């Protein structure tokens, strides 16, 4: 079973993603409400893919993904945000080596296909 970590400060977003994956028995989902909580999870869990929100209090998603890279270098990093602009996308790719950049609101099939692509 593959483990995916979703990091988002919005409980409604985490709930929606959890519901989306309820029927899946091949993916184990972990959830974090902050970048620091996500880093704590990465320290103790083998994570296949991490999907992070961009705009979170305390630690932006780019900073979280950048700090996650040395902890779990083989984990695929994906940025997801409602504040999509070219600068954010370029920063996500250049600073955190994000594999993909997805926008909110997301398409369930696109999100699952992106996560499953690894």
b (16+ CB within 10 A) / e for 52-88:
bbbebeebbbbbbbbbbbeebeebbbbbbbeeeeeeb
DSSP 31: E
pLDDT at 118: 66
Nearest to 67 by CA among 37, 87, 28: 37
The H-assigned helical ranges of 2-85 are: 11-20, 35-44, 61-71
- Residue ranges of the domains in the chain? 2-116
pLDDT at 57: 93
Q: Give the separation between CA 21 and CA 15, rounded to whole angstroms.
A: 10
Q: How many C-beta neighbours within 10 Å does residue 12 have?
A: 8
As averages over each run of 10 residues, the pLDDT of the chain (118 residues) reads: 96 96 92 98 98 93 95 95 75 80 90 89
pLDDT at 31: 98
pLDDT at 103: 87
Q: Decide: helix, strand or coil at residue 100.
A: strand
CB contact at 8 A, 30 and 46: no
If one looks up domain 2-116 in CATH, what number appears? Answer: 3.40.50.2300
pLDDT at 87: 78
């Amino acid at each position: 079973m593959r483990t995916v970590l979703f990091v988002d400060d919005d409980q409604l977003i985490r709930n929606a993603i959890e519901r989306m994956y309820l029927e899946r028995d091949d993916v184990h989902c972990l959830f974090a409400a902050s970048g620091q909580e996500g880093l704590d999870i990465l320290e103790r869990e083998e994570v296949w893919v991490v999907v992070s929100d961009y705009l979170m209090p305390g630690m932006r998603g780019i900073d979280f993904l950048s700090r996650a890279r040395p902890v779990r270098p083989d984990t695929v990093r994906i940025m997801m945000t409602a504040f999509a602009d070219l600068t954010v996308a370029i920063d996500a790719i250049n600073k955190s080596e994000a594999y993909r950049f997805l926008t909110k609101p997301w398409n369930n099939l696109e999100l699952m296909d992106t996560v499953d692509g690894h």
